[in-house]
Amino acid sequence: MAKRFKLPGIYSLPARLLWAILGGGLASLAWPTDGLWLAIFFALPLLWFSIRHLRFWPALGIGLVGGFAFYCIQLPWLSIYLGPAPWLSLSLLEAIIFSAGMAMTAVVWPLVERFGLLATAATFAMFWSAREWASTHVPYGGFPWSTLSQTQSESPLAKWVFWGGFELLSFVVSFIAAIVLLTVLRLPNALLSFKTRLRSALVNLAVIAVCFAIPLATLPPTNAEAGSYTLAAVQGNANAGLFSNVVPGGILDKHVAATNGLTDLLEQRGSGAAKPSVIIWPENAADLSPLYSAAAAAKVRGVLEKFKLPMILGTYRFDDSNNVYNTSLYFDKDGSLLGTYDKQKPVPFAEYVPDRDFWYSLAPDLIGLISHGYSAGSKDGIFTSNGAKLGIEICFEIAIGEVSHSLMSHGAQVLIVQTNSSDFGHSAEMYQQAAYAKLRAIETGRALVSASTVGVSAIYAPDGSVIDSIASFEPGVMVQTVPLRTSQTPAFWSGPVLTAGFNLGALLLFALALLLGARRRFSAKKLESKI
């Protein structure tokens, strides 16, 4: 007689691996461009369920699988030019940090669940937020991508960033997801009456409703506090990738050509419309730096003379020690250099290679592709234009909260983000970048201009609404008047405090769980010895 096939239990190793992979994979649907932000509230419960009733080391292993799926499935755009090695390597590195957060959560789970469902959910959210901080800061400055906040740029929860920054939004998202999981786990509990379970479910539903109601009722101010400012932002639709084989100066030429469209746009606006105070080009728009190339300088000077406007453009520069910087140059309408901003946070393994000799010994072919290394700048990115303080960020810096916080501290009234998405082709990266730009506008309470080489370029109001945009892979110019704002949002003050609180709280709670676990084991051994 043939043996009957028996399905593994829901807590067996194959089942746990399945929940972890499903959770990690489902999470990818929540990020742009899929944009199914609700998917995250199903993905996180599956990931947490996969480590239920596990101790640290088994949870670490399951978490590693879930974390690899979480990152690997949403970041394939990393492989477009460099192949699978950096994509898989980064996914594995982030999965290791992810697994540590999951293992710590598994350890504290039995300790906190005695304090009630909502306290347990808040603990899950705290550990998730602390793990996100670790992922975005270590090693080498971390990978400031794939945070839960990024999934919610188009959801009703987005405006939580106004109250507490990206940290609070990620906390709220994971808090809601944890409530969903713990409520479902409690429903079949035969030790509780149906009435008790129903009442608990309704309370939890009410808490979730409040989590949505608060941002829906939030109306970030958009009024001008220090006048208004008119600007022009250009998208050249130029292939400015790190390994693109363009004719030197070709990227510059495309931005000059796109800028010429400003003539017709100004005519359409009419003589009574406000004239722009500056022209903004994106990161790497001048592939030949006007600081070192006479031909490039002549072309930039031609634009300045034609429109009689100052210009901010992305290029490179060298210092006296021959260090090279990914830089933003600010010229006045007569061609005089008024200021420079050097990117403070160059991207490791893209714009420079940390510990180059070590990594070259492991992957010489890959590391050899990155022939140059940008140094980190030290100056703040404030340019003063026609009385307005413009805060400059370059590309991935939009995802690093400390950079925006520094600009706000130095009085930025408008944020300018110069970016280059050419290396990632038609992938989701450019839309994920746009999600960060929108959220950063709400968080800082500033109008934000995102100028990209290939898109998506857009101008956001301080409440995150889109004032103007240019479709990807199309040349174009945006001319808009934006409000100048000086007041700080609640997130400016609360964001750093919340981050410190989540990190410290997670460490203390984990230490307490370890201490109590060790005490229980010691007591058990002592009792066993007496017997």
Average pLDDT, the chain: 92
Strand locations in 353-429 (E): 382-385, 388-394, 414-419
Cα–chain center distance at 325: 23
The SS3 call for residue 451 is strand
Q: Mean pLDDT lowest for which of 75-89, 193-207, 328-342, 443-457?
A: 75-89
Residue 176 contacts residue 211 (beta carbons within 8 Å): yes
Judged by average pLDDT, the poorest of 226-235, 258-267, 348-357, 365-374 is 365-374
Domain covering 228-488 in this structure, CATH number: 3.60.110.10
- Kindly give the interhelix angle for 160-186 and 401-409, rounded to the nearest 10 degrees: 150
Asked if 510 and 104 count as a contact pair (C-beta separation under 8 A), the reply is yes
Contact (CB, 8 A) for 423 and 453: no
DSSP run (H or E) holding 491 = helix 490-530
pLDDT band at 360 (very low <50, low <70, confident <90, very high): confident
218 has a pLDDT exceeding 70: yes
Query: For residue 3, is pLDDT > 60?
Result: no
Query: Residue 109: CB partners within 8 Å, gap ≥ 6?
Result: 52, 120, 123
- Does residue 133 contact residue 503 with C-beta atoms inside 8 Å? yes
pLDDT tens-digit profile of 420-456? Answer: 887 776 788 889 999 999 999 999 999 999 999 998 9
Annotated domain spans of the chain: 13-220+495-523, 228-488
pLDDT band at 175 (very low <50, low <70, confident <90, very high): very high
Q: With pLDDT > 90 as the criterion, what percentage of the chain qualifies?
A: 74
* Residue carrying structure tokens 């504290």: 108
